[in-house]
Amino acid sequence: MKVVKFGGSSLADAAQIGKALAIVAAEPERRFVVASAPGKRSADDVKVTDLLYRLQAEPDADRPATLARLRDRFGGIVNDLGVALDLGAEFALIERQLTLGAGPDYFASRGEYLNSKIIAAKLGWPFVDAAEVVRFDAAGQLLPEPTDAALAAALGGLDRAVVPGFYGAGPDGRVKTFTRGGSDITGALVARAVRADVYENWTDVSGVLMADPRVVEAPAPIRLISYADLRRLAAMGASVLHEAAVEPVRLAGIPINVRNTNRPADQGTWIQAEAPAPAPGAAPIVGLAGKVGFALIGVVESGARPSQEVAAAMARALAGAGVKVRFQAAQDGLRVVAVDSDRYEDAVRAMYRALVADYQ
Judged by the rule CB under 6 A, the positions of this chain that interact with ligand ASP are: 7-8, 36-37, 47, 49, 111, 165-166, 180-184
Name the residue number minimizing CB distance to ligand ASP: 183
* Least distance (Å) between residue 179 CB and ligand ASP: 8
| Comparison of 49 and 206: residue with beta carbon closer to ligand ASP | 49
Nearer to ligand ASP, 16 or 183 (CB): 183
Of 142 and 339, CB closest to ligand ASP? 142
- Alpha-helix residue ranges (DSSP H) falling in 101-225: 104-123, 130-133, 144-156, 183-193
Q: Which is nearer to ligand ASP, 7 or 268 (CB)?
A: 7
322: left (phi over 0), alpha (psi -120 to 50) or beta: left
CA distance 244 to 322: 17
CB of 154 to ligand ASP, least distance (A): 20
CB of 165 to ligand ASP, least distance (A): 5
* DSSP, res 159: S
Q: How far apart are CB 339 and ligand ASP at their closest, in Å? A: 24
Question: Minimum Å distance from CB 6 to ligand ASP?
Answer: 9
For the chain, the straight-line distance linking the first and the last C-alpha, in angstroms and rounded, comes to 60
CA dihedral 83, 33, 115, 240 (to 10 degrees): -140
Closest approach, Cβ 49 to ligand ASP, in A, equals 4
Closer Cβ to ligand ASP, 37 or 258, answer by number: 37
Residue 101 makes CB contacts below 8 A (sequence gap 6+) with none
Measured torsion, CA atoms of residues 185, 240, 5, 165, in degrees rounded to the nearest 10: 40
Q: Which of 58, 61, 1 is nearest to 30 (CA)?
A: 1
**Closer to ligand ASP by Cβ: residue 96 or 180:** 180
